Amino acid sequence: MNIGDRSGADLIERLQAGALAHRRPQKTRKCPDEDRLRLLLPGQLEPEEADKLLTHAAECDWCGSVLREAAQDLGEPPTGEEDELAGKARLADPRQRRELAERITGGGRTDPKRWAPILRWWPAWGFAAVALVGGVSYQQWTLSAARTEGLLAQAYTKRRPMEMRVPKAEWGQLRIQMGAGSSSSHEPPELPDALSNITRGIDAHPDDPKWLKVEGEADLLEGREGVAIEELERARSLRPGDVTILVDLGAAYYQKAAKADDPESYSMAYQRLSEGLRLKPSDPTLLFNQALAAEHIQTPTVAQAAWEAYLKVDPSSGFAREARTHLDGVKKNLGNSGPMPATQPLMR
């Protein structure tokens, strides 16, 4: 290449023309997460990370394009058309807005200051326990995901918010939901303790499936099944062989289906629970939950078989009593409709 060609005003023009003609936007393994890249716009990144991402984007045609498009989309104020659309949005209706706010917060059931005294004394209790057992292991255990799962199981038993079971929980009397409509004064004390642990655990280990699982379960118990599904699906993708995640996930889809009368979510619930049973065929929690889901999307004969399978592994607990009631109901339906042909279930 002749250096003389590069001198003068032509140089920059040729640089621009070349960019137009030869840019090759191709994502590579070195490209950063695009969600992080876009955070350069509101300046939410630490200077060191921002500098690294900018250097990459300046040289990478793919990330440069992502950044350029984001700057175009975010830099301009809304157009008249977009303003109009926002004015007609679903959440422009105050009632729908309130409903969503309640769904997100599980009904705003708790005065956040109510548990402050307990939380304030938490370090003291923790310290006392450490002193008693003579080491830090107890404190670590109290804050662990396994211990938190136990707290959630106890909370479930004391104030059971749904028919579906959660892992490790004993039978409890079915009551109104912990979420919407319930009084904070009836909230089991284990729940705020668990929530406090989860906040700490998730902050320290945001991608740990154990913490994601207990977080999803807590949201489920608080009536936020939409959020719970998101968290539990993420936990499942990180640890697909964990049946306790599948139990909670099935329960979350079931709750969503029950609230919205949504057959697709019943089907998802059944699917996730069946997935769990393939891994652990005699798990009573999975069998119980799957039988419940089967009542909604399977033929009565399949539902009957599911309850009978459950009662084989648990003939005597409080859950078994409920299973018998369900089984009687299914049989009655079968009796009313005459002998059922061996039809195909709605889904497998």
Partner 1 sequence: MFSLESGSEDQAELAPEVAEASWEAPDGEDSPEALLRECADLRHSQAWDRFLRRFNPLIVATVARTIRRYGLDRAGLSDDLAQEVYLKCSANRARVLREFKPRYPGAVFGYLKVIAVNVVHDHFKSKLGRHLDHSPLQNNVAGRDETEWRLLLRDIDDFLKKPPVSERDRQIFWLYYRQGMSAKEIAALSSLSLSVKGVESVIVRLNQLIRNAFENGERQSRGGLVS
Task: List binders of partner 1 among 53-92 (CB under 8 A).
Answer: 54-55, 57-59, 61-62, 64-78, 82-83, 85-87, 89-92
The verdict on 30 binding partner 1 (CB under 8 A) reads no
What distance in Å separates the CA atoms of residue 239 and residue 319, rounded to the nearest whole number?
28
**Minimum separation from the CB atom of position 157 to partner 1 (A):** 22
User: How many residues touch partner 1 (CB under 8 A)?
Assistant: 93
Residues 105-134 within binding reach of partner 1 (CB under 8 A):
105-112
Q: Is 208 exposed, middle or buried (0-12, 13-18, 19+ CB in 10 A)?
A: middle
Among 32, 102, 122, 126, binds partner 1 (CB under 8 A): 102
Angle (CA) 287-288-293 rounded to 5° is 95
Among 28, 29, 94, 120, binds partner 1 (CB under 8 A): 94
The verdict on 315 binding partner 1 (CB under 8 A) reads no
The verdict on 45 binding partner 1 (CB under 8 A) reads yes
Among 130, 203, 282, 303, binds partner 1 (CB under 8 A): 203
Residues 292-311 within binding reach of partner 1 (CB under 8 A):
none
Handedness of CA 85, 89, 94, 98 (dihedral sign): negative
Q: Closer to partner 1 at the Cβ: 53 or 246? A: 53
Name the residue among 339, 122, 106 with its Cα closest to residue 225: 106
Q: Closer to partner 1 at the Cβ: 47 or 117? A: 47
The verdict on 186 binding partner 1 (CB under 8 A) reads no
Contact indicator for 40, 54 with CB cutoff of 8 Å: yes
Adjacent-strand bridge partners of 174: 160
Name the residue among 193, 185, 271, 178 with its Cα closest to residue 224: 178
The verdict on 226 binding partner 1 (CB under 8 A) reads yes
Contact indicator for 319, 166 with CB cutoff of 8 Å: no
Among 29, 30, 35, 338, binds partner 1 (CB under 8 A): 35
**Minimum separation from the CB atom of position 173 to partner 1 (A):** 25
In angstroms, the Cα distances linking 110 to 5, 40, 207, 330 are 73, 37, 28, 38
Residues 228-247 within binding reach of partner 1 (CB under 8 A):
230-231
Contact indicator for 248, 166 with CB cutoff of 8 Å: yes
